[in-house]
Amino acid sequence: MLLLHGITDSWRSFELVLPHLPAPIHAIALTQRGHGDASRPAAGYRAHDLAADLAAFMDALHLEPAVIVGPPRAASQPGAFAIDYPERTLGLVLAGSPVTLRNKPGVRELWDSIISRLADPIDPGFVRKFAEGSTSQRCPRHSSRPWCRRA
């Protein structure tokens, strides 16, 4: 099982899950290019580029076809991998994918109040604040943050 993080994140988004997976499941959480501590080339961030990176990773480790787990972000990199490499995809799990946004008023509010009003160049302060708010971080051992409490 190959675990792919969302945009602005890294393998750390799976850090608290990995120890709880059953032993027979061989899971690898990756950090994709341009994220976390990975290299940041100037180009190559399209869904199909990241899918090719995943295929190269599988080649380097001589991995058999795998279940690909990841969020269905805008570019749908997990889906692109399944389309480009169907013979290497045992299954596809799109984690956190709502069936519809109709009952998600917060999404419409975000669009109306912020996203639809963005214009080039986008304020670097806004980008930094958005990224920091959506990036997983290492949880301190005795954290008071509710999302860091270990089961």
* Length, in residues, of the chain: 151
- Tens of pLDDT, residue by residue over 28-61, are 999 888 877 877 888 888 888 989 999 999 999 9
Query: What pLDDT score was predicted for residue 88?
Result: 97
pTM above the 0.75 mark?
no
Query: What pLDDT score was predicted for residue 56?
Result: 96
Q: Mean pLDDT across the stretch 87-108? A: 79
Q: Where are the domains of the chain?
A: 1-97, 100-151
- Residue 74: φ, ψ to 5°: -50, -45
Query: What pLDDT score was predicted for residue 151?
Result: 45
Percent of the residues in the chain that have a pLDDT greater than 70, as a whole number: 79
Query: Domain 1-97: which topology?
Result: Rossmann fold (3.40.50)
Q: Which two tokens stand for residue 117?
A: 């009003």
Q: Nearest CA to 80 among 53, 47, 49?
A: 47
126 three-state secondary structure? helix
Q: Evaluate whether 53 touches 81 at the Cβ level (below 8 Å).
A: no
Q: If you average pLDDT over each of 1-5, 46-50, 137-141, which comes out highest?
A: 1-5
